[in-house]
Amino acid sequence: MESSVRAWLLVMAAGIAASGCVPVQPSEHELVGTWRVVWACGTESLDLRADTTYTQEIVYGDGGRATHSGAWAVERRKSRPGAAVVLKDAVVFCTTLGKRLPEPTRTDRRLEAKWEWGRVMLSFSSDLEGFVRQ
């Protein structure tokens, strides 16, 4: 009986660890591809290309769409594990609460690379699910 309890606890601990949000350090090559997030503002797609250019597109939930292109890079943390994709001069279409901005803004947009629920995610908010690979 005691060994079955230990086995059950190990399985539970492994499940909890696998479902946790853990920073990752992917290479540029591992990040190339199409990423997507569906959230309150609409469906946003991000195409990261091997030549370090990107295209972002949003299809707003209330109608309409917008696109933007630019350059991207991986920014590695120096003091602890983790990395972020930095979209240089990106367009921010919505607030972090999912409200459409009347006038989109431009900034360098940081997307933290995290391992969550068995996959890499590019997170822009700790409260929302981020971009996942398509």
In a domain, 12, yes or no: no
In a domain, 57, yes or no: yes
In a domain, 11, yes or no: no
pLDDT of residue 13: 39
What six digits make up the tokens of 126? 């700790």
What total of structural domains would you count in the chain?
1
Q: Considering just the CA atoms, what is the radius of gyration of the chain in Å?
A: 18
In a domain, 80, yes or no: yes
Boundaries of domain holding 126: 22-133
pLDDT of residue 4: 55
In a domain, 85, yes or no: yes
In a domain, 7, yes or no: no
In a domain, 15, yes or no: no
pLDDT of residue 127: 80
Ramachandran sector of residue 62 (left: φ over 0; alpha: ψ -120 to 50; beta: rest)? alpha
The CATH number of the domain holding residue 128 is: 2.40.128
- The low-confidence residues of the chain, meaning pLDDT below 50, are 5, 7-19
